[in-house]
Structure 1
Amino acid sequence: MSYFRKNEGTIVFTLASLAFIAFYCINYCFRRCRNRDVALAAGDTEEAVLSPIRPPRGLDAKGVQSIPSFIYTEANGIGPGHGELVCAVCLNEYKEDEMLRLILPCGHVFHVDCVDIWLSYRSTCPICRADVIVDPVY
């Protein structure tokens, strides 16, 4: 019996394993490229699709304090037709003379105490996930 006949099973197994690994790698690359193309077609920018996901990072106290706040009154324009009357963080209605914080650029409004806790962990709006704009002077 020749040397080749003794190792024929090992050679076949090795070639089959290599073919399987090559197929898996090609399939993975194809699916990844297709997902990227779908995301780009949906309107995502190429930078957003290709950039790594950044870990959530909050604002420091000075950054949070630089976001506009105001005292709620029914006369100041928040109400039916102007926005929600409920804080999306705690789900309580806004009451007269409560301090609220206006998130820019989206314009969503929250209780100061509620959104300040959120912003200490994440620098996005709790509703729409828009990046919060802070006063650059702070």
Structure 2
Amino acid sequence: MASSQDSQPFHWHYAELEDRDFQIRGRTLFFIIVLFSFVLVFTLIFVYSRWICSFHRDNSSTPSPTSHAPPQPRPEPRGLDPVTINALPITMVTRGRKSAAAAAVALESECCICLGVFEDGEKVKVLPACQHSYHSECVDRWLSAESSCPLCRASLRAESELHQIPVIVTQ
């Protein structure tokens, strides 16, 4: 008998699939409206925040040629010019005798840029602002990009301006 029930063809009628009895009432309708409202509000906030972010990003970029903003001044170069770098005093490292310049170099035993030890008879540059000493190659490379002492950040810009200002005497 079980086999006869399994072999019956499936018959359905269109009238059986109608949804006349389907109704949304009470709490179900309320929850659907609340859920739809949350999704709508969240979507609007997301779209608004994206618009605000893109608006601020566009305003913070460089001004367009048609805007009436004043031109931005060029940034001053950070390094020293080669003439000023070459004008810095060079001292020989001597461990035996103590001259005034060698005494300052003797206090420092290594170059703080490359961490190489100063050898006897080696040439080092002494910065006039702070009396710190470095290998010539190391400090020259540093001063071409920066205008301060690598160790104490004492500015060397004032010394470079003295070399660049021409003196004109008129009578």
Structure 1-normalised TM-score? 0.53
Deviations 1:28-83 (A, max 9, x none): xxxxxxxxxxxxxxxxxxxxxxxxxx76610111110111111111123233xxx2
**Bigger Rg, which one:** 2
Aligned residue number for residue 121 of structure 1: 145
Tell me if the contact between 1:67 and 1:101 (Cα under 8 Å) persists in the aligned partners: yes
Aligned residue number for residue 95 of structure 1: 119
**CA shift for structure 1 position 135:** 8.0
Indicate yes or no: 2:165 matched with 1:112. no
Aligned residue number for residue 24 of structure 1: none
Which residues of structure 1 form unaligned runs of 5+?
Answer: 1-53
Q: State the secondary structure of the residue aligned to 1:136.
A: helix
Q: Distance in 2 between matches of 1:125 and 1:63?
A: 14
Deviations 1:66-121 (A, max 9, x none): 11111111123233xxx210100000110112110011211111010110000000
Q: Distance in 2 between matches of 1:127 and 1:56?
A: 20
Aligned residue number for residue 60 of structure 1: 81
Aligned residue number for residue 86 of structure 1: 110
Identity %: 33
Which residues of structure 2 form unaligned runs of 5+?
Answer: 1-74, 165-171
Tell me if the contact between 2:110 and 2:117 (Cα under 8 Å) persists in the aligned partners: yes
Change (3 A) 1:56 1:128: farther
**AA matched with 1:136:** L
Tell me if the contact between 2:84 and 2:163 (Cα under 8 Å) persists in the aligned partners: no
- Superposed, 1:1-138 pairs within 5 Å as 57-74=78-95, 75=97, 76-77=102-103, 78-79=105-106, 83-132=107-156, 133-134=159-160, 136-137=162-163
Aligned residue number for residue 43 of structure 1: none
Q: Distance in 1 between matches of 2:163 and 2:143?
A: 18
